[in-house]
Amino acid sequence: MAKKIAVLPGDGIGAEIVPPAVKVLKAAAGKYGHEFEFRWGLIGGAAYDETGHPLPQETLDLCRESDAILLGAVGGPRWDNLPVHLRPEAGALLPLRKQLGLYANLRPVKVFPQLADASSLKSELVSGLDIMVVRELTGGLYFGEKKKEEIPGGYRVVDTLVYTTDEIDRVARLAFALAEKRGGKLTSVDKANVLESSRHWREYVQGLAEEYPNVELEHMYVDNCAMQLVRAPKQFDVLVTENMFGDILTDLAAQLTGSIGMLPSASIGGEAALYEPIHGSAPDIAGKDLANPLATILSAAMMLRITFNMEEAAADIEQAVTAVLDKGYRTGDIMQPGMKQVGTKEMGELVLEHLSG
């Protein structure tokens, strides 16, 4: 029976970067005798424009009925003036993660050898870099109570940061398990010198360390971690942190790889896992055949590996991406002197050719 994949292109460049990834998934599945059924849905601003809501019930049902979800990107300035609950990011992504129970976001930060010189850091600092960031995804400031009330002279605004022990436990255990399989080092990132939530986070994670004797645990303040990612990124193996810190640090870490257009992600832990590039909808280049589809294609490889246990097919996709980079093909965001610049469609077709060949 064919496995079901919900396809949600979303907004901006989402409509351009998702189709190449779908083609790659079809080719990889066919190569190994598997079959996928792709079912398309609306999300984000595109969904609001058609249905009046950024996350229609039909789309939520589609995701729940699927084995995995491939997402493009959501958001754009045209929807910025909507009420918060109807904006694509707050009204679609956050409730989708919460409704599906996707509590952990896995963001690999890996530098392809061909792109070491494309990083804004010296190549010797990033060459061989391979980090996994585990971001808690359904708690913290983004989901806490929010208030805005008028007071004399202006307003009083409140965002509440809340974590329970159970929420910390499940994401920390996942991070420890990943560290056991990788380099054996886990860095827990917090702000325990200021925040009570971070103090509990640090104390609880430290207590869990006894159950993982093969993992070296260190704690690091988030501001220091940001500095260390730029100063000496290869000191890290697996990082685990709360929602907002993870959101910020992974965008910072993306630049180490040469472009945010190279970083895939997987949101797991609940019903159907969700796979998406970590970049946004880039409305300034939407429709111009300029976007880099590789992060979305690499997200598809993560889907094959994590949800469908198709390691060989996932590795084939990653090798096809490597082969294309080896031949000097680049989208504009990773363009280097002497390389051959291509557009979104051509980059996708090149990966497909190497995968099929």
Cβ atoms 303, 266 nearer than 8 A: yes
Candidates 44, 17, 63; CA nearest to 351 is 17
Candidates 47, 76, 8, 48; CA nearest to 286 is 76
Cα angle: 335, vertex 339, 340; to 5 degrees: 90
Active-site residue among 190, 191, 329, 333?
Answer: 191
Active-site residue among 67, 130, 169, 251?
Answer: 251
Is 80 catalytic? The answer is no
Cβ atoms 27, 356 nearer than 8 A: yes
Residues whose CB falls within 8 Å of the CB of residue 248, separated by 6 or more in sequence, listed in order: 222, 226
User: Regarding beta strands 146-151 and 266-268, do their DSSP bridges make them parallel or antiparallel, or are they unpaired?
Assistant: unpaired
Is 169 catalytic? The answer is no
- Assigned token pair, 290: 């300029």
The amino acid that residue 215 corresponds to is: V
Active-site residue among 11, 190, 237, 247?
Answer: 247
Q: How far apart are CA 18 and CA 300, in angstroms?
A: 10
Is 190 catalytic? The answer is no
Candidates 230, 238, 323, 330; CA nearest to 290 is 330
Is 247 catalytic? The answer is yes
Q: Return the number of other C-beta atoms located less than 10 Å from residue 108's C-beta.
A: 18
Active-site residue among 11, 23, 103, 142?
Answer: 142
Active-site residue among 49, 61, 117, 223?
Answer: 223
Q: How far apart are CA 7 and CA 24, in angstroms?
A: 13
Cβ atoms 270, 103 nearer than 8 A: yes
Residues whose CB falls within 8 Å of the CB of residue 49, separated by 6 or more in sequence, listed in order: none
Is 48 catalytic? The answer is no
Active centre residues (catalytic): 142, 191, 223, 247, 251
